[in-house]
Amino acid sequence: MLEVRDISWQAPGGEQVLDRVSLHVKAGGFTAVTGPNGSGKSTLLKIIAGLERPAGGEILLEGEDISSLDVTARAQKGVCLAFQQPVRFKGFTVGRLLELAAGRTLSQEQACALLAQAGLCGREYLGRQADGSLSGGEMKRLEISTVLARKGRLLLFDEPEAGIDLWSFSGLVSVFKALKRQGGKSLLLVSHQERLLETADEILVLEKGRITEQGPPAKVLPRLSLSCPGCGRGEAVPL
Amino acid sequence: MNSITKKLLETVAGWKGKWEGACSLRENGACVEMRSTRFVEIAPKEGLPGLDIHILPGCAGETVAVPACITDGGIDDLVYNDFHIAAGARATIVAGCGIHTENGEPARHSGIHRFFLGPGAQVRYVEKHAGSGDEALRAISPETEIYLEESALLEMDTAQLGGVGRASRSTKAVLAAGARLFLVERLVTQGREQAKSAFTVRLDGAGAAAELASRAVARAYSRQSFSSRITGNAPCKGHSACDALVSERAQVDAAPSLCARHAEAALIHEAAIGRIAGEQILKLRTLGLSQAEAEQAIIEGFLS
């Protein structure tokens, strides 16, 4: 489904953030990426979504080279990204943002169902502003809802657990389990949380811009705490 | 009523073929339709162009429409409309002006509206301005004066939707005890349009409260200036907020000021000017919108 070949990226200061990274996400598959802060995980997702341009390498979506396509074109081909830091919009209601994501008018029930999947319940949210009046956790769940609304083929999630409270975290794990169970979408998740990582089919460990471990959760997770301190060990949520 | 007038009325006054309540339509400087109702008396003003509108006791939410249209250049229209709202009466007043030019000559509309709200009266005032047509200068000079007696309430929603080359807007209000004023202004300028808007609010009575919000979008080479002055002469609350989005070579000046003349006057002002945040555009592009669609959606949301 997604083929990333030899992607490299340098920060404006010259630091090599990604160094010939390659990965493969099967159709309907679920791949997770973990690694220490600064290892290039978020950059990798931004490059796949078209927000950053790599210095080298190519990206194929179902066999089509999308490396030269811009953000909009990739989104229209079904690539969806949930930002790590949700963007706030002055003047946008929650309902309006969901409709823009869905590309159509949504009934209250449809919009509420999308919010509920990410742990936001209640119709009162639909009329609220998607700005500073929502908490960080509420914005995070709205961000996830916008990706769910897209009905894309490749869903990219950048640390969806960040800012999510303990009670909602279990719901978040359920979201990913359900997405995996439903099939039809390919998932690429960046996370530090073991409970999220273990829902994936495969885990990649990224360190200093290179993939250092790769395999199923049962193989990779037990070795993480020894080989990569900080990987798969979120601090905010008890495992 | 010609097709230009119909289109202008649809834009500035939400006209859908007829007026339900009391109304007065001004077209090219002359009154072409006027209707009073049981609770709303409309009469031509003596000695001046314009109207005296009396909203009588017992009026419970009737809509009064008093829009004006200019359908060609070479017209300089000046109108004085006074609204007298009886104690306890409630009404919605729809005004505004649409200007269309197509003979190359400039056109201007100056609407001076005064509102006198009795104790406990409640008014929602909706005023929109828009222009269309050739390259000739279309100008407006709306002046609004608001006098609120005890516990009166006025909600003013005013918008300049584009196509107006020059605008000089002035809004003044004086509030007695317990009176409340909520004012939202939305200004859009493009090309080489210029708009100036000044608010002056005096909070004279204990418990008076004013909330002023200005949302401005300035594009291309347009210029806008916003000023507000809230004076608190009693224990009162006043808040002024100006948010502006600027793109290309447009310019926006914002100058809010506060004057506390009483120790318990709680006054706040905020002003924020900037371009559309790049991260907002990027987020919307990841949802499949083009750059232009994303910018338009952000501006529409900002002005909503």
pLDDT given for residue A239 in this prediction: 31
Report the largest interatomic distance among the alpha carbons of chain B, rounded to a whole angstrom: 61
pLDDT given for residue A232 in this prediction: 53
Mean pLDDT over each residue of chain A, to the nearest integer? 88
Which H or E run contains A215? strand A210-215
What phi, psi does B45 have (nearest 5°)? -75, 140
Contact: B287, A75; criterion CB under 8 Å: yes
Distances (CA, A) of B244 to A215, B129, B193, B221, B276: 51, 19, 16, 15, 9
Burial of A69 (0-12, 13-18, 19+ CB in 10 A): middle
Q: Give yes or no for a contact between B34 and B42, defined as CB atoms under 8 angstroms apart.
A: yes
Residue B300 is encoded by which pair of tokens? 């529409």
| Amino acid (one-letter) located at B226 | F
- Please state the rounded mean pLDDT for residues A26-48: 94
Confidence grade of residue A228 (pLDDT, cut at 50, 70, 90) = low
Distance (Å) from the alpha carbon of B301 to chain A's nearest alpha carbon: 5
pTM: 0.79
CB atoms within 10 A of CB B285: 23
Mean pLDDT over each residue of chain B, to the nearest integer? 94
Burial of A14 (0-12, 13-18, 19+ CB in 10 A): exposed
pLDDT given for residue A230 in this prediction: 55
Q: Give yes or no for a contact between B270 and B241, defined as CB atoms under 8 angstroms apart.
A: yes
As a whole-number percent, the residues of chain B with pLDDT over 70 amount to 100
Among candidates B215, B285, B298 on the partner chain, residue whose Cβ is nearest the Cβ of A75:
B285
Comparing A162-166, B189-193, B235-239, the range with the smallest average pLDDT is A162-166
pLDDT of A130 > 70? The answer is yes
DSSP A139: H
What phi, psi does B89 have (nearest 5°)? -75, 150
pLDDT of A165 > 80? The answer is no
d(CA A149, CA A141): 12
Confidence grade of residue A238 (pLDDT, cut at 50, 70, 90) = very low
Please name the residue of chain B whose CA is at the shortest distance from the CA of residue A84: B283
Distances (CA, A) of B95 to A179, B127, B128, B173: 53, 5, 7, 18
Q: Give yes or no for a contact between A176 and A198, defined as CB atoms under 8 angstroms apart.
A: no
Interchain contact A69–B (C-beta under 8 A): no
> CA gyration radius for chain A?
17
Alpha-carbon torsion, ordered A194, A196, A198, A202, to 10 deg? -110
d(CA A195, CA A176): 10
- Which has the closest alpha carbon to B173: B255, B230, B241, B236? B230
d(CA A122, CA A61): 37
Interchain contact A83–B (C-beta under 8 A): yes
pLDDT given for residue A19 in this prediction: 94
pLDDT given for residue A229 in this prediction: 56
Report the side by side order of strands in the sheet with A210-215.
A79-82, A154-158, A186-190, A30-34, A202-207, A210-215
d(CA A115, CA B206): 44
Kindly list the residues of chain B whose beta carbon comes within 8 Å of any beta carbon in chain A. 215, 243, 277, 279-280, 282-291, 297-298, 300-304
Among candidates B297, B302, B303 on the partner chain, residue whose Cβ is nearest the Cβ of A100:
B297
Span B34-43, pLDDT tens digits: 999 999 999 9
Contact: A49, B301; criterion CB under 8 Å: no
d(CA A46, CA A81): 8
- Which has the closest alpha carbon to B117: B144, B93, B86? B86
Distances (CA, A) of A112 to A97, A99, A119: 13, 12, 10
Strands A16-25 and A2-10: antiparallel
Which residues are paired to A221 by β-bridges?
A: none
Which residues are paired to A156 by β-bridges?
A: A81, A188
Among candidates B279, B290, B302 on the partner chain, residue whose Cβ is nearest the Cβ of A91:
B302
Residue A235 is encoded by which pair of tokens? 């601090």
- Residue B184's contacts (CB-CB under 8 Å, 6 or more residues apart) are B156, B157, B158, B213, B214, B215
pLDDT of A70 > 90? The answer is yes
pLDDT given for residue A151 in this prediction: 82
Helix A166-182 to helix A136-150 angle (10° resolution) is 10
Contact: B287, A146; criterion CB under 8 Å: yes
Residue indicated by tokens 């927000």: A51
d(CA B170, CA B140): 11
**Residues written for chain A:** 239
Strands A202-207 and A30-34: parallel
Work out the end-to-end distance of chain B between its first and last CA atoms, rounded to an integer number of angstroms: 30
Span B55-80, pLDDT tens digits: 999 999 999 999 999 998 999 999 99
Contact: B279, A75; criterion CB under 8 Å: no
Beta strands in A89-170 (DSSP E): 154-158
Residue A224 is encoded by which pair of tokens? 């993480």
Interface test with B, best of A89, A98, A158 (most B CBs within 10 A): A89
Which H or E run contains B195? strand B194-203
Which residues are paired to A32 by β-bridges?
A: A189, A203
